[in-house]
């Protein structure tokens, strides 16, 4: 609730988008809390913050816990934030109990998980995992043309440390479910064994700007009519691939966006997801060929570009077991789940043993300022996080 005071939204949630002044203030507060807890904070060149609690053997790789502090423009208070601050709470608890771990422990705040301001989402973890270059990430622009690299420097979080390429013992991410299943089934947490894959394809349809009052219908090349048909097509493709597929157009930029100009060009982004790689690829083909056909029918030019992608993920068996064992040992009701949303853990899984814990959320509502969880659910998730991390990091008896 203290973190949520920074970057308030318009309806009780948050607008603390990545690399804004409010993101800087959120980071500063997290940094302050980490130092109070005796952690050593370092920042890498992507702005990702690593708050380290020394292990008994500092030559061993760290066990990480983390998520993200950035939010959607109309985001909730818990998406991402829960996983970062639960990590801090784990450290505070270990401090209070005087527990020393063999491996060091790091609480991580990954930069630009949301991808609302700079696409793609889960950006810093992608660079960390070697899936995108630092230079390409720095060159990304927001809708105002500001670069990721420039904004990272501006808020003072372009750190010195190289990005990635270092051993990690394991990474655990606690996150709200962002869906309705756990609450509906009356369960206290989810053991996340898989995550579905994603593609973001950005299309630009270009026609011809002209006067809305004088241009006869047959000669128009209206880019927005093409985009409207494409939105319908995207919805239909997801329904064709039921029950697991989802696809959405949530971003649409109409140019010049004037009441009395026939739209000359529209850029829109298709978000499509599926737990099966084969189906995901088939959805992509159906959408790309379908949009090209629509453009053809309307005499529009069409370009497309992939602006985000990750394949379905299978999380590490030992890490998943550590989470499940902790839930069982502590007596929390739980079930295995597939993540519908993307998370930093999805990229880190490619370079380190990784697993996730889901906390229920009220009504399954997320990416909405109304997002809500209960203190009891948060405590159960943090409790399981603590036990999974300690089991993985090992305890030194003193």
- 13 belongs to the binding site for ligand GLV (CB under 6 A): no
Q: What is the DSSP letter of 208?
A: -
Q: Is 334 helix (H, G, I), strand (E, B) or coil?
A: strand
Select 178 or 204, whichever has its Cβ closest to Mn ion: 178
Q: Is 194 helix (H, G, I), strand (E, B) or coil?
A: strand
Size of the site for Mn ion (CB under 5 A): 2
Select 114 or 371, whichever has its Cβ closest to ligand GLV: 114
For residue 106, the partner it binds in Mn ion, ligand GLV, none, with Cβ less than 5 to 8 A by kind, is: none
For residue 272, the partner it binds in Mn ion, ligand GLV, none, with Cβ less than 5 to 8 A by kind, is: none
In the region spanning residues 73 to 102, those forming contacts with ligand GLV, defined by CB under 6 A, are none
**CB of residue 48 vs Mn ion: minimum separation in angstroms?**
15
| Cβ–Cβ < 8 Å for 283, 274 | yes
Q: Determine the Cα–Cα distance for residues 299 and 313; give it in Å rounded to an integer.
A: 40
> How many angstroms separate the Cα of 140 from the Cα of each of 84, 149, 256, 265?
25, 8, 23, 21
**CB of residue 53 vs ligand GLV: minimum separation in angstroms?**
28
Select 121 or 126, whichever has its Cβ closest to ligand GLV: 121
For residue 121, the partner it binds in Mn ion, ligand GLV, none, with Cβ less than 5 to 8 A by kind, is: ligand GLV
Alpha-carbon Rg for the chain in angstroms:
22
- 286 belongs to the binding site for ligand GLV (CB under 6 A): no
> How many angstroms separate the Cα of 98 from the Cα of each of 40, 93, 169, 234?
18, 8, 22, 54
The binder of ligand GLV chosen from 341, 359, 378, 386 (CB under 6 A): 341
**Residues 6 or more apart from 380 whose CB is under 8 A from it?**
188, 189, 330, 332, 359
| Cβ–Cβ < 8 Å for 355, 322 | yes
Binding characters for ligand GLV, 116-155, by CB under 6 A (x = yes): -----x----------------------------------
- 342 belongs to the binding site for ligand GLV (CB under 6 A): yes
**CB of residue 109 vs Mn ion: minimum separation in angstroms?**
12
- 345 belongs to the binding site for ligand GLV (CB under 6 A): no
Residue 310 pairs in a beta bridge with: 198
Q: How many helices (H) and strands (E) does the chain have?
A: 11, 17
**CB of residue 394 vs Mn ion: minimum separation in angstroms?**
29
Binding characters for ligand GLV, 197-236, by CB under 6 A (x = yes): ----------------------------------------
Tokens of 18: 């990545």
For residue 342, the partner it binds in Mn ion, ligand GLV, none, with Cβ less than 5 to 8 A by kind, is: ligand GLV
In the region spanning residues 68 to 87, those forming contacts with Mn ion, defined by CB under 5 A, are 79-80
For residue 22, the partner it binds in Mn ion, ligand GLV, none, with Cβ less than 5 to 8 A by kind, is: none
Alpha helical stretches, state H, the chain: 21-36, 81-97, 123-128, 134-139, 148-154, 181-184, 223-240, 277-297, 317-330, 344-348, 375-393
Q: Determine the Cα–Cα distance for residues 367 and 357; give it in Å rounded to an integer.
A: 19
- 114 belongs to the binding site for ligand GLV (CB under 6 A): yes
| Residues of this chain that bind ligand GLV (CB under 6 A) | 114, 121, 341-342
């Amino acid at each position: 609730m203290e973190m949520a005071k920074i970057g308030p939204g318009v309806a009780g949630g948050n607008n603390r988008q990545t690399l804004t002044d409010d993101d800087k203030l959120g980071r500063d507060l997290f940094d302050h809390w980490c130092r109070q807890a005796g952690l050593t904070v370092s920042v890498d060149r992507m702005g990702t913050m690593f708050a380290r609690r020394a292990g008994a053997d500092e030559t061993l790789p760290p066990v990480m816990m983390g998520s993200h502090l950035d939010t959607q423009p109309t985001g909730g208070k818990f998406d991402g934030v829960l996983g970062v601050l639960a990590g801090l709470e784990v450290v505070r608890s270990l401090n209070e109990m005087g527990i020393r771990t063999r491996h060091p422990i790091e609480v991580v705040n990954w930069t630009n998980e949301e991808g609302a301001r700079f696409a793609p989402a889960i950006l810093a973890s992608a660079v960390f995992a070697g899936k995108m270059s630092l230079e390409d990430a720095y060159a990304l622009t927001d809708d105002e043309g500001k670069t990721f690299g420039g904004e990272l420097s501006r808020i003072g979080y372009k750190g010195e440390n190289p990005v990635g390429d270092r051993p990690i013992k394991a990474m655990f991410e606690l996150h709200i479910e962002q869906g309705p299943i756990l609450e509906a089934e009356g369960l206290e947490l989810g053991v996340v064994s898989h995550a579905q894959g994603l593609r973001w394809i950005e299309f630009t349809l270009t026609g011809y700007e002209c006067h809305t009052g004088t241009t006869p219908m047959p000669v128009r090349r209206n880019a927005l009519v093409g985009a409207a048909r494409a939105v319908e097509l995207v919805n239909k493709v997801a329904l064709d691939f039921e029950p697991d597929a989802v696809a959405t157009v949530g971003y649409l930029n109409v140019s010049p966006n004037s009441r009395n100009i026939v739209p000359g060009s529209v850029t829109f982004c298709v978000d499509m997801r599926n737990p099966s790689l084969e189906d995901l690829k088939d959805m992509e083909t159906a959408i790309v060929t379908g949009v090209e056909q629509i453009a053809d029918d309307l005499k529009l030019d069409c370009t497309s570009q992939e602006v985000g992608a990750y394949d379905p993920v299978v999380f590490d068996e030992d890490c998943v077991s550590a989470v499940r064992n902790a839930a069982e040992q502590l007596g929390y009701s739980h079930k295995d789940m597939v993540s519908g949303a993307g998370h930093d853990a999805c990229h880190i899984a490619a370079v380190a043993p990784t697993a996730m814990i889901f906390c229920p959320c009220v009504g399954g509502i997320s990416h909405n300022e109304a997002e809500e969880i209960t203190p009891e659910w948060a405590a159960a998730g943090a409790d399981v996080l603590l036990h999974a991390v300690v089991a993985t990091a090992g305890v030194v008896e003193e």
